[in-house]
Amino acid sequence: MAVKTEGKGSPRADATHLIDPIAVAIRTRRPQDPAGTGRFIPTDPSPGLDVARNPRVARLLSSRRLQFFMILPNQIIFWLVIGIGLLGAVDPGLNFATAITWYLWFCLVFVMMVVIGRAWCAICPFGGFGEWVQRHTFWNRTTSTIGLGLKMPEKVAQYGFLLSVGTFLLLTWIEEYFNIAGPGNPASTSFMVLGIVASALVFFLVFERRTFCRYLCPLSALVGSVGAMGSVAGFRTRDRNVCLSCQTKECMRGGEDAYGCAWYTWPGSSDSNLSCGLCTECYKACPNDNIGLFIQKPLTSVVAPTRRRADVAWSVAILFGLVVYQQLNALSPFASLDSWLNAHTYFPQYPNPLNYVGTIAGVTLLLVAGAKAFQKTFASPDAVIVEGGRNFNDRTSKFRFYFLPLMYGIIPVVGADYFARQLPKFFLHVPRVVTAIGHLFGHGTTTSKLYNTSLISSSAGIIAVQVAVMVMGTAAAMWASWKIAGRDLAPASVNRRAVQVGAAGFAFVCGAATAVLYVLMNAAS
């Protein structure tokens, strides 16, 4: 579903408000604004504590070397993974590339999302390497770049996170087909990483700034949506009136000492951490010292925004479909279905593309059906959707009004599900990371104690942790859905308490269904 854009290559954050026609003046969240300037004024509460007010933090954020040294350790590991995957041990448990990537890294990334937000983007070796080449410098401010410097076409950019979801689905299918994360042949991990960095480099040389990171990175939509649970709000304006009156907009265009925002995110309109890559450039560029780095309460970026983006909602639904597919494919009936499809479509092996796409689409459609049922059950027949002085009362707009908040509400379920899915490999094999490091120096072997040690070895223990993770994610989703429904959906419903219970119940069903699947999977990795 397309999202309207503001300017070139920058998706507009959708907002849809349902207003009781008898109380329009009371329910309007902002003045009627035909010119549209009000859309730049977020209605979220204060983003929290500005840690950049601390002089030491301020000096650190002002350093042009900061981002380079944040990326450098990962950059070293990144090239080690490529080299050792190609030249190291064939045994995945002894090869540093496969051990650190599939037993440790994937779990850590999800922890970073849930706790911090887009922290991975600040240290990502793929974006870092591409940016260094593009700017032909490690940290200095240059006035020229290498490459064509094109903008992402607006007709493409309007799909926002959905572009990233598409690349993530493709990469996941490739990983499943070649059993890369099994983990299988270590060289396959190296080729996958090389493929990502080569693709990123091409886009950095063709397009300006971090176009690849914003739109096409396979992890961008997942990190952005699940990262909304995190406690780092990102770089935000301290006084929005200063931003609105600023004539130079150096935070976006760049200045003498800093580049403009590489992520096309204006701090003056930001109401969540969805698209802040924590690159610090806007902080360095602002001539008015009006940008801070804010810490917020967990789930704030899930609950607070009233300008919800359709691309985010659809991305959450599709990503949920993908992780449910990964759970289902661990069950025997599902494996039999895949084999049957392969036999009848003459496809060589798992995963059958029809099964892959069909299952993900099926789960997404179930969420759509749930949202429509929710709308039919709780919508007031007298409700009118109003935004910017215009009425939006067609069938699609009314559906979006319910679908978007419900999808935002289940973000914690989706995050918990992806994290829980990685736990079997982590608990069973993460000690092998130490063995793999030792193997580089001639010490680690398959007979080493750590190679044959598990943090949790029993299936029952792993399942208990997975279910516990899903319980916490479901509880967080129910709370978020309750808050969102009480603020945004209740005024348009027949009963405030009923719509809150319904929204929380929707989140509960999603979480409970996935928790049951973990029991049925019996800790399959």
Q: How does pLDDT run along the chain (525 residues), one tens digit per residue?
A: 333 333 333 333 333 333 332 232 223 333 333 333 344 444 455 678 999 999 999 999 999 999 999 999 999 999 999 999 999 999 999 999 999 999 999 899 989 988 889 999 999 999 999 999 999 999 999 988 999 999 999 999 999 999 999 999 999 999 999 999 989 999 999 999 999 999 999 999 999 999 999 999 999 999 999 999 999 999 999 998 899 899 999 999 998 889 999 999 888 888 889 989 999 999 999 999 999 999 999 999 999 987 899 999 999 999 999 999 999 999 999 989 999 999 999 999 999 999 999 999 999 999 999 999 999 999 877 766 655 445 556 666 788 989 999 999 999 999 999 999 999 999 999 999 999 999 999 888 889 999 999 999 999 999 999 999 999 999 999 999 999 999 988 888 878 899 999 999 999 999 999 999 999 999 887
| pLDDT at 303 (0 to 100) | 94
The full 3-state SS of 475-497, as one line of letters, equals HHHHHHHHHHHHHHHHHHECCHH
| pLDDT at 40 (0 to 100) | 43
Mean pLDDT of the chain: 88
Work out the burial of residue 459: count CB atoms within 10 Å of its CB; fewer than 13 is exposed, 13-18 middle, 19 or more buried.
middle
| pLDDT at 35 (0 to 100) | 35
| pLDDT at 336 (0 to 100) | 92
DSSP for 390-447, written as a single string: EE--SHHHHHHHHHHHHHHHTHHHHHHHHHHHHHHHHHHHTTHHHHHHHHHTT---TT
| pLDDT at 385 (0 to 100) | 61
Instruction: Give, in degrees to the nearest 5, the angle at Cα 116 between 113 and 118.
Output: 60
Q: Which bin fits 262, alpha (ψ -120 to 50), beta or left (φ > 0)? A: alpha
Q: What are phi and psi of 287, to 5 degrees?
A: -75, -10
Q: What are phi and psi of 11, to 5 degrees?
A: -70, 140
295 DSSP assignment: E
Alpha helices in 17-95 (DSSP H): 24-27, 55-62, 66-87
| pLDDT at 525 (0 to 100) | 72
| pLDDT at 394 (0 to 100) | 63
* pTM flag (> 0.85): yes
Work out the burial of residue 99: count CB atoms within 10 Å of its CB; fewer than 13 is exposed, 13-18 middle, 19 or more buried.
buried
How far apart CA 9 and CA 279 sit, in angstroms, is 18
Work out the burial of residue 264: count CB atoms within 10 Å of its CB; fewer than 13 is exposed, 13-18 middle, 19 or more buried.
buried
| pLDDT at 485 (0 to 100) | 95
Work out the burial of residue 270: count CB atoms within 10 Å of its CB; fewer than 13 is exposed, 13-18 middle, 19 or more buried.
buried
> Could you identify the residue written with the tokens 């392969």?
342
Instruction: Give yes or no for a contact between 462 and 429, defined as CB atoms under 8 angstroms apart.
Output: no
Q: Measuring CA to CA, which residue among 510, 505, 507, 503 is closest to residue 486? A: 503
| pLDDT at 28 (0 to 100) | 30
Q: Measuring CA to CA, which residue among 520, 450, 465 is closest to residue 103? A: 450
pLDDT digits (tens, 9 = 90+) for 242-253: 998 999 999 999
| pLDDT at 380 (0 to 100) | 78
Q: Measuring CA to CA, which residue among 394, 310, 267 is closest to residue 13? A: 310
Structural domain spans, the chain:
233-297, 305-521
306 DSSP assignment: S
| pLDDT at 41 (0 to 100) | 46
| pLDDT at 46 (0 to 100) | 64
| pLDDT at 21 (0 to 100) | 29
Helices (H) and strands (E) in the chain, counts: 24, 6
| pLDDT at 398 (0 to 100) | 82
